[in-house]
């Protein structure tokens, strides 16, 4: 049996209104866009340099930019067409200007032709079979006896799949993951192959299915509809890292996902090493550092990485992408994006990377855009975009359309709410005070670089001081931006 560990003791964090209005909407596929703009730095690390020139014909899944640095991940074309432009774009995620390649589909042919992918035929076959079983299971329309036979069938398939994964060499998997350009899809976009090829001794893998930000449901939908892929991907990562335990961390507001995963782990017979942790839904539970602390009780040292304490955290979407990369050789060119907020029909869409935001908005029911803001990301950490042609990147997981309420910044009354709530034990009010007075150097004393910019402080601030905005300003000044 699978152990579901419940962590329900008092955890530090915010109780936010969840607003997961799109939780029950199945993932829909957005039609392949006519034009994409693909940023060349969609990951944490070095930007890529284009390997195609203007006018080149590219196929879907073809590498269009790469870098020989370690901290980098190649970028692929997400549609079939012609490279029409190589320009520069402001990236609100990293606050910098990056190169971007514009690809336009053929207007007449309008086809989606994939580049040749390096597939693992055996694995692909099994995964197709599993997909069939679980997809039908998802619809849930058969009798008990049928269910039983399907279950044994699934168990056999899992056995084979695990055998194949066990036989695949580590180097092979890491190379495939690297070629596919897989990065951490939780938002930090840390190149996954770097995580996988760590030399450090890893004992625990955590699969992050928390999704603690309100509104976003893309990870939830991935878990529900592609749960088996997530699990298989998790197993691959688990094998590569030669970890001892894997925790699938899910917040307790996603009961269905917890149930599904215990069933999946049961069928895959991985109960020995795979455990599910049901965490209290508090913000920011899904942030790497707080997650590790709440699951294992370990603390990531200041300035360190989870690997330093023998832990690797991967998002459920990343696990799925890893499995697709290993089995199908499919590069990371698609992402599930939640489009939600103050709109009538929130959706979960499977979107090609580089699709302009406008296409996603048009897929929803029309609404009056007046006085709305379009947020790329969740309500707590997302960035507002000013240009509807801005493309979807690997970091995006949500488009939030919110009515604007203008808040006036009041005086800080030093109530200490931000200090109490801060998951990193900092004093956010000082960041606002000293940034206003341009005394940036003092902020180092207050450990500003430990801040994860989760936005909890600004959320609770009674004076509605935009503390995160001040922190971002101070951080960029301190890092010597613009000098």
Partner 1 sequence: MENKEIKKSEENYNSDRAEELVISHAPHIWSGFSTSKIMYIFLASLIPPTAAAIYFFGLRAFWIIIASTITAPLVEFIIKKARKKKFIMDGSALITGLLLALTLPPRIPIWMVVIGSAFSIAIAKEAFGGLGYNIFNPALAGRAFLAICFPVEMTKWYLPQTFAADAVTSATPLNESFVYEGSKIALYKNMFFGNIGGSIGETSALLILIAFIFLIVFKIIDWKVPVIFIVTVTLLSFLWGDDVLFQILAGGLMFGAVFMATDYVTTPVTSTGRILFALGCGLITFVIRRFGAMPEGVCFSILIMNGFTPLIDRYVKPKPFGYIREKPKMKSKPKAKLL
Instruction: Closer to partner 1 by CB, 350 or 427: give it.
Output: 427
Segment interacting with partner 1, rule: CB under 8 A, options 45-53, 155-163, 266-274, 462-470: 462-470
Stretch that binds partner 1, among 75-83, 169-177, 194-202, 465-473 (CB under 8 A): 465-473
Q: Which is nearer to partner 1, 273 or 404 (CB)?
A: 404
Q: Which of 191, 209, 331, 455 forms a contact with partner 1 (CB under 8 A)?
A: 455
400 binds partner 1 (CB under 8 A): yes
Which range binds partner 1 by CB under 8 A, 2-10, 256-264, 312-320, 446-454? 446-454
Q: Which of 386, 437, 482, 483 binds partner 1 (CB under 8 A)?
A: 386
Stretch that binds partner 1, among 128-136, 323-331, 345-353, 452-460 (CB under 8 A): 452-460
Contact with partner 1 (CB under 8 A): which of 117, 381, 477, 478?
A: 381
In terms of CB distance, is 181 or 284 closer to partner 1? 284
Name which position in 372, 436, 476, 478 contacts partner 1 (CB under 8 A).
372
Give min distance, CB of 104 to partner 1, in A: 11
- Is residue 305 a contact point for partner 1 (CB under 8 A)? no
Least Cβ distance, residue 377 to partner 1 (angstroms): 8
- In whole angstroms, the minimum distance from the beta carbon of 461 to partner 1 comes to 8
Q: Extract long-range pairs of 436-445: CB within 8 Å, 24+ residues apart.
A: 436/470, 440/474, 440/477, 440/478, 441/478, 443/474, 443/478, 444/478
Q: What's the min distance (Å) between Cβ of 234 and partner 1?
A: 25
Q: Does 346 bind partner 1 (CB under 8 A)?
A: no
* Rounded-to-integer distance, Cα 480 and Cα 483, Å: 6
Residue 92 CB, nearest approach to partner 1 (Å): 10
- 366 contacts partner 1 (rule: CB under 8 A): no
Instruction: Tell me the CA distances in angstroms from 35 to 81, 262, 377, one per residue in order.
Output: 9, 41, 22
What is the closest distance, in whole angstroms, from the C-beta atom of residue 395 to partner 1 in the complex? Answer: 14
Rama region for 120: left / alpha / beta (φ>0; ψ in -120 to 50; rest): beta
Q: C-alpha distances in angstroms, 93 versus 56, 98, 196, 355, 383?
A: 29, 11, 24, 16, 7
Does position 39 interact with partner 1 (CB under 8 A)? The reply is no
Nearest CB to partner 1, comparing residues 139 and 405: 405
In the complex, minimum distance from the CB of residue 21 to partner 1, in angstroms, rounded to a whole number:
14
Beta bridge partners of 262: none
Stretch binding partner 1 (CB under 8 A), from 54-62, 111-119, 346-354, 458-466: 458-466
Residues of span 263-302 touching partner 1 by CB under 8 A: 289, 293, 299-302
- Does 458 bind partner 1 (CB under 8 A)? Our answer is yes
Contacts of 421 (CB under 8 A, 6+ apart): 12, 13, 14, 456, 457, 459, 460
Comparing CB distances to partner 1, the nearer of 124 and 460 is 460
Between 238 and 283, whose beta carbon lies closer to partner 1?
Answer: 283
Among 415, 438, 439, 441, binds partner 1 (CB under 8 A): 415
- Is the distance from CB of 279 to CB of 251 less than 8 angstroms? yes
Name the site residues for partner 1 (rule: CB under 8 A): 16-17, 214, 289, 293, 299-302, 304, 369-375, 377, 379-389, 400, 402, 404-405, 407, 410-416, 419-420, 423-427, 429, 445-447, 450, 453, 455, 458-460, 462-464, 466, 468-469, 472
């Amino acid at each position: 049996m699978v152990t579901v560990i419940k962590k329900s003791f008092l955890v530090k964090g915010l109780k936010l209104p969840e607003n997961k209005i799109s939780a029950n909407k199945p993932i829909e596929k957005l039609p392949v866009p006519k034009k994409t703009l693909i940023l060349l730095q969609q990951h944490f690390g070095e930007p890529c340099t284009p390997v195609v020139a203007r006018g080149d014909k590219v196929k879907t899944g073809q590498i269009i930019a790469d870098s020989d640095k370690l901290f980098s991940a190649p970028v692929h074309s997400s549609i079939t067409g012609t490279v029409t432009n190589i320009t520069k774009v402001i990236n609100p995620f990293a606050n910098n200007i990056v190169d971007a390649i514009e690809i336009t589909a053929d207007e007449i042919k309008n086809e989606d032709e994939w580049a040749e992918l390096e597939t693992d035929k055996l694995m692909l076959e099994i995964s197709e079979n599993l997909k069939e079983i679980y997809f039908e299971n998802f619809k849930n329309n058969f009798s008990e006896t049928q269910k039983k036979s399907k279950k044994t069938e699934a168990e056999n398939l899992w056995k084979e799949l695990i055998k194949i994964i066990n036989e695949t060499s580590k180097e092979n998997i890491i190379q495939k993951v690297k070629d596919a350009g897989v990065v951490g899809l939780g938002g930090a976009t840390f190149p996954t192959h770097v995580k996988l090829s760590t030399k450090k001794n890893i004992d625990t893998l955590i699969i992050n299915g928390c999704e603690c930000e309100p509104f976003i449901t893309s990870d939830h939908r991935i878990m529900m509809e592609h749960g088996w892929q997530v699990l298989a991907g998790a197993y691959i990562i688990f094998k590569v890292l030669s970890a001892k335990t894997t925790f699938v961390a899910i917040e307790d507001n996603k009961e269905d996902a917890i149930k599904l995963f215990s069933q999946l782990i049961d069928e895959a017979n991985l109960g020995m090493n795979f455990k599910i942790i049901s965490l209290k839904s508090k913000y920011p539970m899904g942030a790497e550092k707080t997650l590790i602390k709440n699951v294992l009780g370990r603390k990531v040292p200041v300035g360190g990485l989870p690997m330093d304490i023998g832990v690797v955290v991967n998002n459920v979407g990343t696990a799925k992408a890893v499995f697709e990369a290993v089995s199908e050789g499919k590069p990371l060119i698609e992402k599930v994006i939640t489009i939600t907020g103050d709109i009538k029909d929130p959706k979960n869409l499977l979107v090609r990377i580089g699709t302009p935001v406008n296409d996603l908005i048009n897929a929803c029911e029309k609404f009056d855009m007046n006085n709305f803001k379009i947020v790329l990301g969740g309500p707590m950490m997302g960035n507002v975009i000013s240009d509807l042609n801005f493309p979807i990147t690997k970091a995006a997981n949500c488009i939030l359309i919110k009515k604007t309420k203008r808040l006036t910044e009041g005086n800080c009354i030093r109530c200490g709410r931000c200090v109490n709530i801060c998951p990193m034990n900092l004093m956010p009010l000082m960041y606002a005070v000293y940034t206003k007075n341009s005394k940036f150097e003092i902020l180092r004393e207050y450990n500003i670089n430990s801040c994860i910019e989760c936005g909890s402080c600004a959320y609770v601030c009674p004076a509605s001081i935009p503390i995160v905005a001040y922190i971002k300003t101070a951080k960029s000044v301190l890092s010597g931006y613009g000098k």
